[in-house]
Structures are given as structure tokens and as C-alpha cells.
Amino acid sequence: MKRVEKPWGYELIWAHTDRYVGKVLHIAAGQRLSRQYHERKEETFLVQSGTMNLEIGPDGDRQVLVMNAGDSFHCVPRTIHRMIAVTDVDVCEVSTPDLDDVVRLEDVYGREGTSAP
């Protein structure tokens, strides 16, 4: 297992193959990931504990899904999304292995553009 520190918390990469990646994202209360999309990466989120708001969609058509433990969401490529922790939240993410496929549209931590995780 590999722990990767992030400005919003950390991620634990518990599986990484040429076909899929499994992670647990720990997002501290009040923190948010970048508003982003992926060209190739497909992912599914499962909230393990805590509560988060999942923003989905472009400006003008943005929806907010309140997600609690047991809730899941499948995110296809090019879906604009952002996770915002209401409480400390742990999210299990299973995805294709395209870890460097991140197009950031907005980021409170100053990270810009396309970049690796």
C-alpha cells in the first residue's frame, strides 16, 4: 500500500495494475479536491464514512449530490466533478489506471492545468 499526501488529506493506493487502480481518499472536513475532468480515466466512488458534496457538471448546469456512507457514483470520462468534504470523509475509488489524466479547471491549492496526481 502506498500513501500519497495531498493538500486536502491523503490517498492510500491499495491496488495498482495495468487494468485498474484502487484507492481510499481521506478528505479532511471543509477541504475540496480540484474541479476537474479526465479524458480517459473512468472511476467509481463509494463513500465509506463521513459526508461529502459531489459537484457534477459544467458551470450553469452544476448539480450537487450529498453523499453519505454507502452512496456511490460512477464517473465516466469528461464528466466535470469535484468532491467537497462536509465532515472528514473516506472515499473508496476504483478506476482505470490513467493516474496522470487530470484536467484541473479550478483548484483552491494553486495547482493548475493538466497534471499528475
Flag residues of the chain having pLDDT under 50. 116-117
Q: Is residue 26 situated within a structural domain? A: yes
| pTM assigned to the model | 0.90
- The verdict on residue 8 lying in a domain is yes
Q: Identify the CA nearest to 51 among candidates 25, 26, 11, 87.
A: 87
Instruction: Indicate whether 84 belongs to any domain.
Output: yes
Q: What are the cell numbers at 115?
A: 497534471
The answer to the question of residue 78 being in a domain is: yes
Which residues span the domain enclosing 73? 2-108
Tally of structural domains, the chain: 1
d(CA 86, CA 52): 5
User: What digits encode the pLDDT tens for the residues 86-113?
Assistant: 999 999 999 999 989 999 999 999 887 6
Identify whether 116 is part of a domain. no
> Which residues, at least 6 apart from 95, have a Cβ–Cβ distance to it below 8 Å?
20, 21, 23, 41, 42, 43, 44
Between strands 72-75 and 43-49, the pairing is: antiparallel
